[in-house]
Amino acid sequence: MRLPGRGKAWVLGLAALLLVLWGGKWLVHRVTHLQVDDARIDGEVVTISSRVSGWITELPVIEGDEVKKGQILARVDDRDSVLQREVLLSRLRATEGQMAVVRAQTGQVDQETLGKFQSETNRLVAAEAEVAALEAQLNQAREDYKRARDLTEAKWLSQQAM
């Protein structure tokens, strides 16, 4: 008669074990799985835009991928930009060449102007020296005239010699 009592305890123990196992499974599932009613997950949504317009040639990420700061999200066709850059670089080189020519011409004009300035300065110095010489001759002529007049008045020199 003891078997039925033991069997009952055994069945109750087995039922309790099954209940604990099922409760553990339910608890693990509850902790590891997210249950939502509207199928949305919290996340950060960021709007991105490009500084240039054009066709996308490469898209290394897809919707829903996790991305990091600095990661390339898309590549835009850059053929037009590269061509435009080359045109601008050639214009820059041409402008730099023109600037070099203008600098050379400016240097040449500076040298010519300096040469003319020095030449005119030399002419001025020569003219001033000539003026000084002529003033000296004029002063000498005035002194000679005064002496001749004084000698003529003193009758030491004839009127004709003067």
- Write the DSSP assignment of 71-82 as a string of letters: ----EE--HHHH
| Residue 149 φ/ψ region, left for φ over 0, alpha for ψ in the -120 to 50 degree band, beta for the rest | alpha
At 100 the pLDDT is 97
Q: What does pTM read for this prediction?
A: 0.43
Nearest to 74 by CA among 51, 90, 40: 51
Annotated domain spans of the chain: 1-31
CA angle, 105 then 108 then 113, to 5°? 125
Q: How far is CA 78 from the centre of its chain?
A: 21
Instruction: Report whether 111 contacts 93 (CB < 8 A).
Output: no
Q: Give the bridge partners for 75, in sequence order.
A: 58
At 40 the pLDDT is 65
Residue pLDDT tens, the chain, 162 long: 455 667 788 888 899 999 999 999 999 998 888 776 766 666 777 788 888 888 999 999 988 888 898 899 899 999 998 999 999 999 999 999 999 999 999 999 999 999 999 999 999 999 999 999 999 999 999 999 999 888 888 877 666 665
Beta strands in the chain (DSSP E): 56-58, 75-76
At 162 the pLDDT is 59
